[in-house]
Amino acid sequence: MNLYQARMKEIVRKAAMIAWRQPLLDSGLWFHGDIRDNYYYASYLFAAAVDPDETPTFDRAEGRLLAEKVLLRVLQLQDREASSPTYGHWPLGLYPTPEQAAPHVLPVELMGSLMVYFVRIYGKELSPELAERFEDALSQIYRSGFYRKPLREYNHHEAKYTAAKLIFGQRYEDAALFADGRECLRHTLAHLRLEGMGEYGALPWFWHWIQAFTCAWALMDDAEAKAELSEMLDLLWTIRANYYFKGAWVGAHARGWPHDAPRDANVLHDYVQFGDFELPEAMPRTEYAGLLFYEAPASARLRALERGKPAESKVAILKEISGVKQRLHAYAYLSHCFAVGGLWERVEEFDNEQLRWLYSLPVRGEKGNQLYFFHPGKGYEPSDHDPRHQSEWTEVLYHRNAVVAVYSLPEEVPGRVIGVLPEGEWRFAANGIFGKVEEAYFAVYPSSTYQVRERDGYLQVEVEGRSVGVVVEAIGEPEANERGVSDLEDFVSALMSRAPQFTVGDRAGRIGVSYTSYAEEAQLRLSVEGPGLAGDRRINGERVDLESYSFSW
């Protein structure tokens, strides 16, 4: 058994035990929040129960029967009415009861393809009744044609449609559908190479790309199509490696669920592929991370795991916004002890569940591993303690280990900027916040007075004002030691006197920041004349040049 298989079995074992211990509801399911969770956990329980190389801590026969019972219950909820607009679909949420829940377009997108894989791997182990019901369900998915859609946006939905075309085209010997899938695959691959991934750092969407194409690759009999799927997966894992830091996803996130801020928690695929962090106790999205696997190319693994020295990444992305393609520029800096990155530009994203910039530490279980500041925007509710949903009133300057951010706020929005500090050892002074978390020191300089509140796994900083600036600089413990810093008190002494100069103008939103970085003595300056106006960004007196950013990985 290799390391990948061992880590996959660890996930299977853990997920199976969660399923085994979860009491069934009156509906015969474990969960009503998302039907897919029932399918995924039943898959894991069945896999653990029939694995001859494992000795489960539950009764094999009873575990198998329980898994089959839940799988059968899930399959029964498929819309099997051929005239229905949601034919072949399942409901998503199951309230008030599963029978009353309306079918939804999402579950079948990924779950349908994974069902084909499950039947391929475990079909001979299934009871005759369940095997027959799976065959019926898959046939109706195929006939529903939910995936028969053209490429338009090159997003995670269309990635799943493309994979489904290949999977169901092969399974039902539909040559035209299979050919369409191959054509879509080629166009999608070319698009990513030419324009980058518009769904930058979007979780769980990126993992849906990975799972859909891995599923198609694992099932594929056609050698040429399998080779093309390998090209796609090699590129996807190369993209992932570019922003990988010990389980964390470095840089801007177009979308993330609450469990992805201020901690990286959707980490199971990373754990299997890279394994350089401890598997967290919580597994908020198991999906098929323990059952499907494609080995990343050696170059991607080398980039992710064996960084010989700190490295910068400067990547351009084309993203269609209101019908017009706009060039975005993603920056990342990865060192041995921390990483930092973000987008230079800000764009509106789905549900505004985004992070513009952040520092990343290694995955730390339930503790936060992200540091960032943001002005709350659409979708933010203070009572939710959900540190996402950022507004557009931000300008940034990135330079290796330092970030300068200004928040130029108009009168009609709340005049408060929120900061997130990961749980660690912190010192709070009038002109700065200084901390040590894991193997990284942080100096955080807000432009005005601030308050600090304790949250679950992190500290929340609140800075009032309509012209707010923040400077953050990080340095790894080895580099700090070389400069004579042996503990946090030494770091405070060294950085306290280096606070940036903040210049607030005579009108709201006008602010300038000048800072000389500790690590490199770089002169950083960022100024904004007012809300909605472009900032003047300079490093050592030179304006920031984004023309060097390319689409290559």
End position of a domain, from candidates 212, 239, 266: 239
Q: Determine the average pLDDT of the residues in 362-379.
A: 96
- The count of domains in the chain is 2
End position of a domain, from candidates 208, 239, 270: 239
| Predicted local distance difference test score (pLDDT) of residue 540 | 97
Q: Is the peptide bond before 204 cis (omega within 30 degrees of 0)?
A: yes
| Position 169 confidence tier, pLDDT thresholds 50, 70, 90 | very high
Q: What are phi and psi of 323, to 5 degrees?
A: 85, 0
| Position 535 confidence tier, pLDDT thresholds 50, 70, 90 | confident
In a domain, 469, yes or no: yes
| Position 388 confidence tier, pLDDT thresholds 50, 70, 90 | very high
Find where tokens 């987008």 sit: 343
pLDDT in tens, 307-365: 779 999 999 999 988 888 999 999 999 999 999 999 999 999 999 999 999 999 999 99
Q: What percent of the chain has pLDDT over 90?
A: 94
Q: What percent of the chain has pLDDT over 70?
A: 100
| Predicted local distance difference test score (pLDDT) of residue 379 | 95
Pick the closest to residue 111 from 84, 80, 89, 83 (CA basis): 89
pLDDT in tens, 41-74: 999 999 999 999 989 999 999 999 999 999 999 9
In a domain, 256, yes or no: no
In a domain, 467, yes or no: yes
Q: Which residues face 81 on adjacent strands?
A: none
| Predicted local distance difference test score (pLDDT) of residue 553 | 64
Q: Determine the average pLDDT of the residues in 502-506.
A: 86
pLDDT in tens, 218-269: 999 999 999 999 999 999 999 999 999 999 999 999 999 999 999 999 999 9
Return the CATH number at 107.
1.50.10
How high does pLDDT run on average in the chain? Answer: 96
In a domain, 209, yes or no: yes
Determine the Cα–Cα distance for residues 510 and 276; give it in Å rounded to an integer.
44
Given the DSSP bridges, would you call strands 542-543 and 90-91 parallel, antiparallel or unpaired? unpaired
End position of a domain, from candidates 239, 258, 273: 239
Note down the domain range covering 519: 367-543
In a domain, 338, yes or no: no
- Decide if pLDDT at 104 tops 70: yes
Q: Which residues face 453 on adjacent strands?
A: 460
